[in-house]
């Protein structure tokens, strides 16, 4: 009996720590700040005063505070295991296991050292404040003048993100062919988050064949959650209000894809404008298109105004870098002005060609910058480039001007500084399929005058009526053609006495690029890829007596030639 009483007296001080006193412990849900004062048995919690079972003390330079009061004020749980004499503190995200008089703690299963062991004073367990509070992600500060310690609780975790809800309505679910379909997006997020992306499928402005068509919508919120797919069906009747070409003529959107199979394209008369060309040089590095090892892909010396154009795929098994370098081999400082630049990738070759062309056409001269090259100095022009994973492509278009002769090089390396490595690199041979070389007359200007009220067409980059650029390979000195006129800027002014619709029709193969119509850039087509011979896209409308300007550049990885088709209506 005596032994039992002794054991009971040893356990009681610890058990006293876990007796709940509702009136002396603050409600945790609203707690945000706790202020304790050394040697004081009062705590201030959110401005209210509460009694403490023991005053905070300093031991071995460490502040110790009452365990139960602190933990419950923080809104967390504390448990005592009488058999193991272990204290367990459970926070929102972490768990701490302590033992009285032990300088070791377990935090999420990891053993950590304490600055001071928990101790029992007057029946109350005191714990190292800063270690426990900061482990539980609280902020601790000490004001020496008042001997006050402040503990600021972390904000509560945000509630789980509920996914958004995709919802839309269709004004009429049964429509005639060529009738405009009106969609109303009524998607929302139950948490009030912004909707940042919508994926429509099948939501065409109008349909031109009878049948049933499924339209779907999925939306994403600002926290990255996607909704379930919402779906509706549209029934298109046999009634025809407009065919596809007529509909697009009356409801024009630049780049809108459509079916041109109703046109006998090759039977249309061809207009032959008086083409003029500029004297600028065009340096093209596209061969070898697939790069399997380090080396100089292409290099040539240029002076004056020029365009630098590269498009390469990483064909190796490791990441590669493609650099565009400028080197001054002269005896005087050279000035290089980058008047315009556009880059794309790493990515799919056709997607990179499409994106870089759009960015080039959409970029103005306001981004021009000038660099200076001392004699013998080299600099990287495509700064900020990204490493290219195997199978991906990079593309760049730079308009530059130099006041002296400068060597421009396109270089592929795996690692390291391309400028330092340049002297040890060899020039890689062309692949015999793609284009490499330096070509004069990089810009073409075509004035088109349409006097007659009948269909016509303009052929671009066929090597006949619109000839290919002729130049030389600066590495091999071999002469050759730029088949497709890749990198050539076309400025086509179109004037008509009659109301005309202007359509784009690729003839050589799949096509995805960009253009500007009257100064406004757009993707061509504005979605997907055009496949000849029947798929085309609308460019714009010309009213009688108007003049419109189309700017166009054959995009890398797409196929040429193309036709511009003029249809009166």
Q: If DSSP codes are grouped into helix, strand and coil, which group holds residue 356?
A: helix
**Is the predicted pLDDT of residue 423 greater than 80, yes or no?**
yes
Q: What pLDDT is recorded for position 152?
A: 87
Q: How confident is the model at residue 1 (pLDDT cuts 50, 70, 90)?
A: very low
Is 314 within the bounds of a domain? yes
Q: Cα(336)–Cα(62) distance, rounded to whole angstroms? A: 64
Average pLDDT over residues 383-393: 93
Cα–Cα distances (Å) from 5 to 1, 9, 80, 154, 528, in that order, read 6, 6, 20, 44, 85
If asked whether residues 544 and 562 sit together in one domain, one would say yes
Q: Cα(42)–Cα(35) distance, rounded to whole angstroms? A: 9
Strand partners, 143: 148
Is 491 within the bounds of a domain? yes
Q: Cα(5)–Cα(540) distance, rounded to whole angstroms? A: 99
Is 159 within the bounds of a domain? no
Edge-to-edge strands, sheet with 535-542: 257-259, 535-542, 500-506, 562-568, 456-460
Max CA separation in the chain (angstroms): 121
Q: Which of 30-34, 70-74, 110-114, 160-164 has the lowest mean pLDDT?
A: 30-34
Q: What pLDDT is recorded for position 365?
A: 66
For the chain, the first-to-last Cα distance in angstroms comes to: 112
**Is the predicted pLDDT of residue 367 greater than 80, yes or no?**
no
Q: What pLDDT is recorded for position 27?
A: 56
If asked whether residues 433 and 448 sit together in one domain, one would say no
If asked whether residues 37 and 67 sit together in one domain, one would say yes
**Is the predicted pLDDT of residue 5 greater than 70, yes or no?**
no
If asked whether residues 132 and 193 sit together in one domain, one would say no
The domain total for the chain is 4
DSSP 8-state assignment for residue 427: B
Q: What share of residues in the chain are helix, strand, coil (percent, to 5)?
A: 10, 45, 40
Average pLDDT value over all residues in the chain:
91
Average pLDDT over residues 198-211: 97
Average pLDDT over residues 423-445: 96
Is 250 within the bounds of a domain? no
Q: Cα(124)–Cα(118) distance, rounded to whole angstroms? A: 10
Q: Cα(500)–Cα(524) distance, rounded to whole angstroms? A: 19
Domain with residue 530: its CATH number is 2.60.120
If asked whether residues 361 and 299 sit together in one domain, one would say yes
Q: Cα(315)–Cα(216) distance, rounded to whole angstroms? A: 38
DSSP 8-state assignment for residue 210: -
Is 253 within the bounds of a domain? no
Average pLDDT over residues 351-372: 91
**Is the predicted pLDDT of residue 93 greater than 80, yes or no?**
no
Residue ending a domain, among 126, 152, 178, is 152
Q: What pLDDT is recorded for position 24?
A: 58
Q: Give residue for tokens 């070409």.
A: 245
12-39 tens-digit pLDDT? 333 334 333 334 566 554 457 899 999 8
If asked whether residues 178 and 234 sit together in one domain, one would say yes
Q: How confident is the model at residue 135 (pLDDT cuts 50, 70, 90)?
A: confident
If asked whether residues 434 and 453 sit together in one domain, one would say no
Cα–Cα distances (Å) from 130 to 56, 114, 156, 223, in that order, read 12, 10, 20, 33
Domain with residue 49: its CATH number is 3.30.457.10
Domain with residue 182: its CATH number is 2.60.40.10
Q: Cα(29)–Cα(244) distance, rounded to whole angstroms? A: 64
Is 260 within the bounds of a domain? no
Q: Give residue for tokens 């031109």.
A: 208
458-509 tens-digit pLDDT? 999 999 999 999 999 999 999 999 999 999 999 999 999 999 999 999 999 9
Is 247 within the bounds of a domain? no
Burial of 311 (0-12, 13-18, 19+ CB in 10 A): buried
**Is the predicted pLDDT of residue 368 greater than 50, yes or no?**
yes
DSSP codes joined into one string, 466-525: SPPEEEE-TTT--EEEETT-TT-EEEEEEEESS-EEEEEEE-SS-B-EEEEETTEEEEES
Cα–Cα distances (Å) from 182 to 170, 521, 525, in that order, read 6, 26, 22
Burial of 527 (0-12, 13-18, 19+ CB in 10 A): exposed
Q: How far is CA 192 from the centre of its chain?
A: 24
| Percent of the chain at pLDDT exceeding 70 | 94
Q: What pLDDT is recorded for position 25?
A: 63
If asked whether residues 401 and 495 sit together in one domain, one would say no
If asked whether residues 413 and 452 sit together in one domain, one would say no
Q: Which domain holds residue 305?
A: 281-440
Contact 238, 175 (CB under 8 A): no
Q: Give residue for tokens 């910058």.
A: 369
Residue ending a domain, among 383, 408, 440, is 440
Residue ending a domain, among 152, 177, 199, is 152
Q: Cα(172)–Cα(174) distance, rounded to whole angstroms? A: 6
Q: Cα(250)–Cα(567) distance, rounded to whole angstroms? A: 12
If asked whether residues 49 and 123 sit together in one domain, one would say yes
270-284 tens-digit pLDDT? 999 999 999 899 999
Average pLDDT over residues 380-393: 94
Residues with Cβ within 8 Å of 242's Cβ and at least 6 positions away in sequence, in order, are 177, 178, 206, 250
Q: What pLDDT is recorded for position 31?
A: 56
Angle at the Cα of 287 (from 286 to 288), degrees rounded to 5? Answer: 120
Q: What pLDDT is recorded for position 380?
A: 97
If asked whether residues 433 and 458 sit together in one domain, one would say no
Is 162 within the bounds of a domain? no
Q: Which of 87-101, 370-384, 394-408, 492-506 has the lowest mean pLDDT?
A: 87-101
Q: Which of 91-100, 273-282, 383-392, 501-510 has the lowest mean pLDDT?
A: 91-100
If asked whether residues 457 and 336 sit together in one domain, one would say no
Q: What pLDDT is recorded for position 366?
A: 67
Does a cis peptide bond (omega within 30 degrees of 0) precede residue 341? no
516-564 tens-digit pLDDT? 999 999 999 999 999 999 999 999 999 999 999 999 999 999 999 999 9
């Amino acid at each position: 009996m005596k032994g039992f009483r002794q054991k009971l007296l040893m356990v009681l001080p610890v058990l006293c720590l876990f007796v709940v006193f509702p009136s002396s412990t603050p409600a945790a849900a609203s707690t945000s700040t706790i202020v304790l004062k050394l040697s004081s048995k009062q705590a201030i919690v959110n401005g209210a005063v509460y009694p403490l079972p023991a005053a905070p003390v300093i031991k071995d330079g460490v502040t110790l505070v009452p365990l139960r009061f602190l933990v419950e004020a923080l809104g967390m749980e504390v448990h005592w295991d009488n058999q193991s004499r272990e204290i367990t503190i459970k926070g929102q995200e972490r768990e701490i296991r302590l033992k009285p008089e032990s300088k070791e703690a377990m935090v999420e299963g990891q053993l950590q050292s304490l600055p001071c062991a928990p101790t029992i004073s007057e029946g109350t367990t005191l714990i190292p404040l800063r270690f426990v509070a900061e482990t539980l992600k609280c902020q601790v500060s000490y004001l020496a003048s008042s001997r006050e310690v402040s503990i600021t609780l972390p904000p509560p975790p945000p509630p789980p993100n509920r996914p958004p809800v995709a919802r839309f309505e269709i004004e009429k679910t049964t429509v005639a062919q060529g009738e405009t379909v009106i969609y109303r997006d009524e998607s929302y997020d139950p948490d009030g988050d912004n909707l940042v992306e919508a994926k429509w499928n099948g939501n065409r402005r109008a349909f031109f064949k009878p049948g049933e068509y499924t339209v779907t919508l999925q939306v994403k919120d600002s926290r990255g959650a996607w909704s379930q797919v919402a779906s509706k069906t549209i029934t298109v009747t046999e009634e025809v209000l407009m065919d596809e070409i007529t509909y697009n003529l009356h409801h024009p959107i630049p780049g809108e894809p459509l079916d041109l199979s109703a046109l006998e394209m090759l039977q249309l008369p061809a207009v032959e404008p008086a083409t003029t060309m500029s004297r600028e040089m065009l340096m093209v590095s596209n061969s070898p298109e697939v790069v399997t090892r380090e080396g100089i892909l292409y290099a040539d010396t240029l002076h004056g105004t020029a365009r630098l154009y590269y498009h390469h795929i990483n064909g190796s098994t490791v990441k590669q870098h493609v650099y565009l370098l400028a080197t001054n081999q002269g005896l005087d400082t050279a000035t290089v002005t980058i008047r315009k630049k556009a880059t794309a990738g790493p990515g799919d070759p056709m997607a990179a060609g499409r994106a870089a062309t759009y960015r080039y056409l959409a970029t103005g001269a306001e981004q021009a910058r000038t660099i200076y090259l001392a004699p013998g100095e080299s600099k990287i022009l495509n700064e900020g480039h990204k490493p290219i994973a195997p199978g991906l492509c990079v593309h760049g278009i730079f308009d530059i001007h130099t006041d002296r002769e400068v060597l421009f090089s396109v270089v592929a390396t795996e690692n390291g500084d391309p400028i330092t490595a340049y002297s040890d690199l060899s020039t890689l041979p062309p692949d015999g399929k793609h284009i490499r070389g330096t070509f004069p007359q990089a810009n073409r200007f075509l004035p088109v005058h349409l006097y007659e009220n009948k269909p016509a067409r303009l052929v671009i980059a066929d090597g006949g009526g619109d000839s290919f650029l002729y130049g030389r390979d600066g590495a091999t000195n071999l002469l050759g053609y730029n088949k497709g006129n890749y990198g050539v800027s076309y400025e086509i002014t179109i004037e008509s006495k009659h109301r005309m619709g202007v359509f784009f029709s690729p003839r050589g193969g799949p096509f995805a690029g960009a253009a500007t119509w009257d100064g406004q850039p757009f993707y061509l087509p504005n979605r997907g890829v055009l496949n000849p011979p029947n798929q085309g896209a609308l460019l714009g409308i010309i009213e009688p007596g108007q003049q419109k300007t189309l700017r166009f550049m054959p995009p890398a990885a797409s196929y040429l030639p193309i036709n511009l088709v003029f249809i009166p209506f």
